[in-house]
């Protein structure tokens, strides 16, 4: 299966909001409400930030939110903080017990 | 708390195999599926497949079918991944991660595998 499409980079100033898109197909993002988002710092393992499209695990700030429209999922980070600068990856269940990741987006806090 | 602790870094020659272990704790081992994901240097996450620790069912990405094997040791709450016929293209950080209801939630710290002659 092909990787989900994410912008290579996004940026924003502290306090602003940014949105990262994740575009797939009807066979993955569009077909299931099992999209998750991960934050990854350099040299570290990914950390779950959003699951089931829009649910936040305990301990994740409510500045992080997720949504989906058709075959495109989105992660929005509001009230940007310096510590949010990281790589972000989306992941979707793709049917037949397979999963697919996005290409990753580097978030820069200006 | 849920923890996944992986074995240490490996250096292998082309053509060799590598086996990485993932010791879990903090939850009922047999109730969850463990996925394996790899990340080449500076590259994206790549899903490799999974092992259901309870019933031993497996699923592999087409990209790795025939080269990867998943095993489990219930007594040690450990899942292992073996990748064979290594090439330089397999140089990557390999992660194990637990699945909670169609979402991958907790991750191991990663194991760096370097393939070089």
> How far is the alpha carbon of B96 from chain A, nearest alpha carbon, in Å?
10
- Cβ–Cβ under 8 Å, residues B2 and B99: no
Rounded-to-integer distance, Cα A1 and Cα B108, Å: 24
8 Å CB contact of B102 and A32: yes
* pLDDT at site B85: 96
CB-nearest to A104 from B44, B95, B101 is B44
User: What rounded mean pLDDT belongs to chain A?
Assistant: 96
B13 interface with A at CB cutoff 8 Å: no
Site from A8, A32, A46 to mutate, B interface, most B CB atoms within 10 angstroms: A46
> How far is the alpha carbon of A93 from chain B, nearest alpha carbon, in Å?
7
Name residue, tokens 């092909």: A2
- Per-residue pLDDT of A29-71, as tens digits, reads 999 999 999 999 999 999 999 999 999 999 999 999 999 999 9
Listed in sequence order, the residues at least 6 apart from B85 whose beta carbon sits closer than 8 Å to its beta carbon are B15, B17, B67
- Cβ–Cβ under 8 Å, residues A67 and A77: no
- Cβ–Cβ under 8 Å, residues A101 and A34: no
Report how far Cα B87 is from the mean position of its chain's Cα atoms: 17
- Per-residue pLDDT of A11-40, as tens digits, reads 999 999 999 999 999 999 999 999 999 999
* pLDDT at site A4: 96
Chain B CB contacts of A103 below 8 Å: 44
The DSSP string of A1-33 is: -PPBB--SEEEE-TT--EEEEEE--TTTTTT-S
Residue A1 has pLDDT above 80, yes or no: no
The torsion defined by the Cα of A19, A20, A25 and A26, in degrees rounded to 10, comes to -40
8 Å CB contact of B95 and A45: yes
A12 interface with B at CB cutoff 8 Å: no
Question: B85 exposed, middle or buried (CB, 10 Å; 0-12, 13-18, 19+)?
Answer: exposed
* pLDDT at site B100: 86
Residue segments in chain B with a per-residue pLDDT below the cut of 70: none
Name residue, tokens 């988002």: A37
* pLDDT at site B109: 98
């Amino acid at each position: 299966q092909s990787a989900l499409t994410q912008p290579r980079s996004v940026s924003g100033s502290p306090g602003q909001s940014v949105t990262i898109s994740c575009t797939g197909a009807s066979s993955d993002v569009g077909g299931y409400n099992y999209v998750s988002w991960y934050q990854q710092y350099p040299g570290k393992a990914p950390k779950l930030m959003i699951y089931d499209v829009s649910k936040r695990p305990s301990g994740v700030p409510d500045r992080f939110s997720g949504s989906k429209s058709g075959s495109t999922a989105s992660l929005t980070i509001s009230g940007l903080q310096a510590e949010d600068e990281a790589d972000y990856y989306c992941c979707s269940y793709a049917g037949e017990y397979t999963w697919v990741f996005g290409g990753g987006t580097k978030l820069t806090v200006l | 708390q849920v923890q996944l602790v992986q074995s240490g870094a490996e250096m292998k020659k082309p053509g060799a195999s590598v086996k990485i272990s993932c010791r879990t704790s903090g939850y009922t081992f047999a109730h969850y599926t463990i996925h394996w994901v790899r990340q080449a240097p500076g590259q994206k996450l790549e899903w490799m497949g999974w092992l259901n620790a309870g019933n031993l069912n497996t699923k592999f990405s087409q990209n790795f079918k025939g080269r990867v094997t998943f095993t489990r040791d219930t007594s040690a709450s450990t899942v292992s991944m073996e990748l064979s016929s290594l090439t330089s293209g397999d140089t990557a950080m390999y992660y194990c991660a637990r699945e909670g209801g169609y979402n991958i939630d907790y991750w191991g710290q990663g194991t760096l595998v370097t393939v070089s002659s």
